[in-house]
Structure 1
């Protein structure tokens, strides 16, 4: 029954109410991507390789024919920009680095991370593509034949005007697209979870979907050492665990939270420890004492150019003494760490950032948690993964949407 249900369901069923993708041309610069991300509520902007000079043709047949040479080639987010700015050769002049072509960032992404799919494709086919490595499925939005008495020609003219007035576009050769994510598929399966009995009631430990291959870094390590792990976690749709010397789970550096910041976080990554970076990005704005630490250490590293260009730090310019020494900055950083730790346990701020949709704190579960409970918990917090810890806060591993989908797929093969 579950097999036929997934084969009969079309991906268009999951696209209902989805907004059209905002997109950038593959020929754009990183500065263009940064501006688009700041002006969007979306965490990711799709990147397309299209020739929009021919977009005025209005025949559906022509649009479909030209659509073959117009496709989404990737996606970009604030984390991509931050990691790019943290490269050693970009630290001296971030504004100059932002003039680089967007392709430099896209080349770091794994192949087939974004895949086109027709609306009539089955949900089972969508799941198989995700298990093969696709993170986003690009699906055409099926437009109504007539809307509010406005002709198709008039709608097309309006769309062209919207495109001309915006850095990003939503239409490609007259067609609009949305994309489906792992979260969309998991959410849909949860709505029909009874079809998969008894699978949902089994623990994630019993199902064997806890991965021990996690990205982890020590709390006191320089945040710059975490950059390779942050880039990999973004590609894998996971996160970087922060642990102490005993392997106790303290928190995380999440690409999701980092993506809710702006490009100036590159200065914090360059100067702070991972523990301090965790506090820096955790809330509605960086703590003032940590800002002073960042400013002092930028001067120590002769990165005054970064200090000048990252104007978000300027409100505290009068407070930060230009004579700050390495010893004073280390003292401030130490006081921050001591304040974060209370009674042997690390505490996190409960404040929100303007673009965040959840608290900036790690979401955890227990090895004995049931599959359905983990699914609900992940969807409620809008994350693609959950950290798995024991009662003593020791890190066991991580469970992801991808591993959940895999166990659903394997379950179907046994039915």
Structure 2
């Protein structure tokens, strides 16, 4: 197969992408949370030191690995607040340094590639285990001018960017896109599952795994039928008070709590019910967390000499699923006989990195991920002598 279209620069995938937001490892968890709310980004990078006005994009790509320590998101913060040692004093936990949120392998999840790296080379890095590629941005006069003061000059490239790229060139892979996902062997049967009536708190280890694998936790009936999901993507668009619901509700009730409100968050009756349960269990710290009023004029330590980020894109516990016109109970599903291209379109349309696979009776059969989909295209791009 001709691979000329994947020989182009990976920088082509950066068009229109914003520069990364960041905080130093000394910033508090609360400061990182406020920054995430204000800037409207899903992830925030943690950097050992800041770039200066003398840095150039080329310098940055080479030296970024020693400076970028990892990334954090709202889900990391929610999981941290729900840790056993923090349930009694979540407000105090928010004052911890943001470095406590970083996984031991955080650095391995982010890889740096140069702008002139080919799409194929970058794809191999993603399939090698990286969740995000960090690519230098090209600004006006790049290559001869200095980066603007206080600008990092990098953007993310994700699995979603590669899937969109291949969908735009889907005709080059005919007839593979019309094959069923079952025939292609990309249905993963090892999925993260919690039963509907189980405590949501018991699913926290699974939520952490889902965040790492870029999937979700399936909520199933006693006989294994899919009835919904607890998605890190949905939780990332909630505020920190959803930790109180996780601490008190079942997995099924948590789905309903998240989906019960629009941008303004859950209705007052749902909030009162959670408060009542917290009071019954003597969880005073979690009650105080619910009573805290976000400080709108607070700023993270990384934005002291920059323009203020735009207002938050979501309100209190306003869920992503509600804004996208679906609920957690409306998990995106396909069937073993669904075609590869149909699953790609489904996932991209709903901005998810996975699609659940179910049988005719909604029995959960597995999941298809972007990583599995990208592997199909990578195999097709192998030289014919290597595939034989």
Same-fold status (TM-score > 0.5): yes
TM-score norm. by structure 1 comes to 0.80
2:318 aligned with 1:353: yes
2:267 aligned with 1:302: no
SS of 1:12's partner is helix
Contact 1:241 1:249 in 2 (8 A): yes
In 2, distance between residues paired with 1:355 and 1:396? 25
SS of 1:112's partner is helix
Shift of residue 280, structure 1, vs aligned partner: 0.8
Contact 2:201 2:247 in 1 (8 A): yes
Shift of residue 369, structure 1, vs aligned partner: 0.7
Say if 1:253 and 1:69 are closer, same or farther in 2 by CA, change over 3 A.
Answer: closer
2:22 aligned with 1:57: no
Q: Residues 157-197 of structure 1: CA distance to partner in whole angstroms, max 9, x if unpaired?
A: xx44xxxxxxxxxx23xxx1111000001001100011111
In 2, distance between residues paired with 1:111 and 1:61? 20
Q: Point out which structure has higher relative CO (alpha carbons under 8 A, 6+ apart).
A: 2
SS of 1:392's partner is coil
Instruction: Using the TM superposition, name which of 279-288 and 116-125 deviates more.
Output: 279-288
Say if 1:258 and 1:64 are closer, same or farther in 2 by CA, change over 3 A.
Answer: closer
After superposing on structure 2, the runs of 4+ consecutive aligned residues of structure 1 that deviate more than 6 Å are none
SS of 2:222's partner is coil
Aligned to 2:93: 97
Say if 1:98 and 1:108 are closer, same or farther in 2 by CA, change over 3 A.
Answer: farther
Contact 1:50 1:70 in 2 (8 A): no
Counterpart among 123, 130, 136 of residue 119 in structure 2: 123
Shift of residue 131, structure 1, vs aligned partner: 1.0
Say if 1:68 and 1:252 are closer, same or farther in 2 by CA, change over 3 A.
Answer: closer
In 1, distance between residues paired with 2:293 and 2:50? 40
Say if 1:88 and 1:61 are closer, same or farther in 2 by CA, change over 3 A.
Answer: closer
Contact 2:33 2:74 in 1 (8 A): yes
Aligned to 2:46: 47
In 2, distance between residues paired with 1:263 and 1:366? 35
TM-score norm. by structure 2 comes to 0.85
Aligned to 2:298: none
Shift of residue 277, structure 1, vs aligned partner: 0.3
Say if 1:354 and 1:238 are closer, same or farther in 2 by CA, change over 3 A.
Answer: closer
Aligned to 1:4: 4
Contact 2:65 2:111 in 1 (8 A): no
Unpaired segments ≥5 residues, structure 2: 295-316
Matches within 5 A, 1:400-411: 400-411=369-380
Aligned to 1:241: 218
Contact 1:50 1:69 in 2 (8 A): no
Shift of residue 139, structure 1, vs aligned partner: 0.1
Say if 1:73 and 1:270 are closer, same or farther in 2 by CA, change over 3 A.
Answer: same
Aligned to 2:20: 21
| Structural RMSD (CA) | 2.5
Contact 1:291 1:313 in 2 (8 A): no
2:344 aligned with 1:375: yes
Shift of residue 308, structure 1, vs aligned partner: 2.1
Contact 1:72 1:116 in 2 (8 A): no
In 1, distance between residues paired with 2:207 and 2:337? 28
Contact 2:69 2:106 in 1 (8 A): no
In 2, distance between residues paired with 1:65 and 1:184? 20
Aligned residue pairs, count: 354
Contact 2:61 2:135 in 1 (8 A): no
